[in-house]
Amino acid sequence: MRRALVIVLVGAVALAASAAYVLRSEPSWYLRARYPLRYEAIVIGHARNYDLDPALLAAVIYTESRFDARAESSAGAVGLMQLLPETANGIALRTGGARFVASDLLDPEINVRYGSWYLRSLLRRYGDLETALAAYHAGQGNVDRWRAQGLGVRFPETRAYVGKVLRLRLVYRSAYAAELALR
Residues marked as catalytic? 64
Element holding 119 (H helix, E strand): helix 108-126
* Nearest one of 91, 87, 85, 165 to 133, comparing CA atoms: 165
Nearest Cα to 80, choosing from 44, 107, 56, 49? 107
CB 105, CB 76: distance < 8 Å: no
CB atoms inside a 10 Å sphere around CB 110: 21
Residue 139 buriedness (CB in 10 A; 0-12 / 13-18 / 19+): middle
